[in-house]
Amino acid sequence: MQTIIAQGSRTIAAFPRPAALAVHLHILGVCGTFMGGIAAIAQQAGFRVTGCDANVYPPMSDQLGALGIELIEGYGAEQLRLAPDLWVVGNVVTRGNPLMEAILDRGDRYLSGPQWLAEHILHGKWVLAVAGTHGKTTTSSMLAWILKCAGRNPGFLIGGVAPDLQVSARSTDASHFVIEADEYDTAFFDKRSKFVHYRAKTAVLNNLEFDHADIFGDLADIERQFHHFVRTIPSTGRLVMNGRDATLKRVLTQGCWTPTEEFGVATGWEAGAPDREGAFEIAWQGSAVGRLKWVLAGEFNRLNGLAAIAAARHAGVAPDVAIEALSRFGGVRRRLELKGTVRGVGVYDDFAHHPTAIRETIAGLRQHMKGSRERDGAGRVLAVFEPRSNTLKNGVMKDALPGSFAAADLVYIYSEGLSWNATSTFAALGPRARCESNMDTLVSTIASEAREGDRILVMSNGGFGGIHAKLLKAL
């Protein structure tokens, strides 16, 4: 028997229905990274999964389709006829959504994605959760990779894809589960941060800055959510914390019941300065535990690596095993990812969208260039940025942006759709900064000004209109 789902006259998906009558989940907002990961995990765990979203498009639609997950485009109330055993609701869904209103009117059972995950997948697991404003995806990927290399076969749900792991989400029968622990809210009916649902045993606190101005009023609001997260970690667990972050330390003054290890400081886990080959010493409380040589660049990645090593040690993986695993870790897509080189000009992609992340990403690329034997650090950094997050679109933290680009040689800002004047904001950078609202003009300007040896660093938390391919073609 085959199930066919269509939107109007267009078939979205057609797949054989399993012979066994599995518990049926219908996921609202299924094409988001997090909810798409839940769909994959649920399907692997034996549930029958269908889903819907406003925009059903690659790559998530392809990934879900490859798993045999049926997709519907839109949130039409006619989906009630699917009669699933449970509706799983993503936080993209709001009141007024026609399908959600129909679910509420009929009194059907529904859960948020994080709550479903906690109750059906994470319960009874050793959960290793990675939280923080920056570095969650990379650190989670490193940690899952270390556990995999150590033979632990972990499950994981990560907001990005490390080529070494091949997928962003996986369900296994093993006891360990690594999750990227997001502080964003859970659902329209649950305004707690997602991470309070996960009941972690090992928790990484990478850093904490103000972000997500669409749901948090100020930094204190976010600190309160991190405090709630800390309250869920058992006394037999472990908090692995950035010892340089004063805000995290302030969070712990509100209460901490769990042993803590710090990284980034001499009294805890520390990384030495990298040599020309990018190798550096790793120490625990002043005693060397190993030397790591890898392909990643930047101090932020060294801190991410320390956090992953410390968290893995709490789960029983020796530091030397973790270091060896990280020496073979290839990084994460959209984190200083080289998309191509034309006429000696490299085009890089990065997810950076916060002033601190922008500054550190540029510094990381500079370090990579400095360590390059081929050109010995010659060439310029051309930084291209799309202020796409809700926080930046509304002008929150815009005044911090010019300083975050200080180390770039040229700065190009895509100003389409902003509520503030980008030209005025970036005037402090003088002729180094260009603001452009037309994509074609932006691409042609960058391509005409780039020269051999330059690195074009594109930063956005979205697709940026496919600018990477357009730049490579224009070059």
| Domains of the chain, residue spans | 2-113, 124-326, 337-474
Which pLDDT value is given to residue 393? 67
Residue appearing with tokens 């600190």: 223
What type of residue is 8? G
Average pLDDT over residues 90-101: 96
What is the number of residues in the chain? 475
Degrees, nearest 5: CA angle 73-74-80: 100
In CATH terms, 337-474 corresponds, of 3.90.190.20, 3.40.50.720, 3.40.50.261, 3.40.50.1220, to 3.90.190.20
Query: What is the tens place of the pLDDT at every residue in 376-400?
Result: 446 899 989 888 776 666 677 777 7
* Residue that wins the pLDDT comparison between 227 and 391: 227
Which pLDDT value is given to residue 21? 58
Percent above pLDDT 90 for the chain: 49
* Residue that wins the pLDDT comparison between 251 and 398: 251
* Residue that wins the pLDDT comparison between 474 and 247: 247
Q: Check pLDDT > 50 for residue 82.
A: yes
Task: Using alpha carbons, list the distances in angstroms from residue 96 to 79, 86, 89, 335.
Answer: 16, 20, 14, 36
Q: How far apart are CA 209 and CA 191, in angstroms?
A: 19
Task: Using alpha carbons, list the distances in angstroms from residue 206 to 162, 319, 320, 342, 449.
Answer: 19, 19, 22, 36, 37
Residue 4: band (very low, low, confident or very high) from pLDDT cuts 50, 70, 90: very low
CATH number given to 2-113: 3.40.50.720
Q: Which fold has domain 124-326?
A: UDP-N-acetylmuramoyl-L-alanine:D-glutamate ligase (3.40.1190)
Query: What is the tens place of the pLDDT at every residue in 424-455?
Result: 888 888 888 888 888 888 888 888 888 998 99
**pTM attached to this predicted model:** 0.76
Tokens of 134: 């920056």
What type of residue is 129? A
Tokens of 437: 């609202």
The top-scoring range by mean pLDDT among 43-47, 157-161, 233-237, 405-409 is 233-237
Which pLDDT value is given to residue 73? 92
